[in-house]
Amino acid sequence: MSVFSALDVSQSWRLLTRFVFVLMVVLVVVLVCAAGHASQNPAPDHFLGLAARATAHEAAGNTKAAIDTYRRALACVPEAEQERLAFAEALARSGWAGSLPPRQALARYVFRLAQCLHRVLWDAGRIQEALAVYDELAVRYPTYRLLHLARIDGLRRAGELERALEAAREAARNIRGYPSISVALATTLRGAGQAEEAEQVLRETIAAFPGRPAAYTELGLLLLAAGEYEEAEQVLRQAVELRKANNDPGPATRIARIKVLTALGRCGEARESAVRCERLGVALPVEVLASLQLSCADAGEGGEN
């Protein structure tokens, strides 16, 4: 073999070695990236496994483990919309979603996990952390109605009326066509002392959705607080009839109507309503019963049954 042939072979060998080295480096980088992506977007079965373990921890009273595992399960769901959709479709392929569209099924399941985490944190006295669970998901799911209703309710229960009102207004802007959102806004407005706007929202809701008793009940409570007893009684009577048509005892509605009837001095009707409540298993507050008895006594009807 000539000197030049030996040099050519040597140079070719070096080039081949470099090529193989570069190829190995590229392969390693690809594997590392894939592993990183997999760690950021865990497999759906890992997500479901974490959810099941979190539920078991909560049932066993292991609060710390339940909180940690619920958080890990929720962290499995990608934040980016496209990745989240792919994650939902992967879950659906396993038959997990049932008949629901993948996106809707995932949103519902995430909300249920959030409810569990919120409850465990709340019961542990970690109120702000509990509220933050819904706050964070509200950004990711701006039109998921049940999530926003839970968020508003949680803020109200925590006494965070300004934040609750902000959340209710945000939900009303983003989620249209649902009377429950409008009623939540009106309830929050009433709690914040903005009765006039609350009444306007409720009357508009009743006009748009005349068959929904919640709006009637909330309007009746608002009118009761304002001393407008005659109209309050009419509105609450409509609410009771709507609930009866849906086989719904409607405790809050019936109790409010008894209050109105008592305030109007219509003791006979108030007592009849109280008896119906008892038959339906609706427990009347002590103060409502005391007010009814006192009113009937003043009217000379205290001895009647």
User: What confidence category does residue 29 fall into, taking pLDDT thresholds of 50, 70 and 90?
Assistant: very low
Rounded Cα distance, 242 and 209, in Å: 12
Q: Which residue has tokens 């894939």?
A: 34
How far is Cα of residue 119 from the mean position of the Cα atoms in its chain? 12
Which residues contact residue 169 at a Cβ distance below 8 angstroms, ignoring those fewer than 6 apart? 185
Q: Which residue has the higher pLDDT, 295 or 271?
A: 271
Across the range 205-212, mean pLDDT stands at: 94
Residue-level pLDDT at 91: 84
* Terminal C-alpha separation, the chain: 124
Which pTM value belongs to this model? 0.79
Give the chain as a DSSP string.
--HHHHHHHHHHHHHHHHHHHHHHHHHHHHHHHHHHHHHHS--HHHHHHHHHHHHHHHHTT-HHHHHHHHHHHHHTS-SSHHHHHHHHHHHHHTTTTTTS-HHHHHHHHHHHHHHHHHHHHHHTT-HHHHHHHHHHHHHH-TT-HHHHHHHHHHHHHTT-HHHHHHHHHHHHHHS-S-HHHHHHHHHHHHHTT-HHHHHHHHHHHHHH-TT-HHHHHHHHHHHHHTT-HHHHHHHHHHHHHHHHHTT---HHHHHHHHHHHHHTT-HHHHHHHHHHHHHHT-PPPHHHHHHHHHHHHHTT-TT--
Residue-level pLDDT at 262: 93
Residue-level pLDDT at 56: 96
Across the range 265-273, mean pLDDT stands at: 92
Across the range 34-57, mean pLDDT stands at: 72
Is the pLDDT reported for residue 30 higher than 50? no
Across the range 261-278, mean pLDDT stands at: 92
Over residues 159-206, the pLDDT tens digits come to 999 999 999 999 999 999 999 999 999 999 999 999 999 999 999 999
Residue-level pLDDT at 97: 66
Over residues 88-127, the pLDDT tens digits come to 888 888 777 677 888 888 999 999 999 999 999 999 999 9
The two structure tokens encoding residue 203: 């009357």
Angle at 148 between CA 142 and CA 152, to 5 degrees: 140
The two structure tokens encoding residue 18: 């470099």
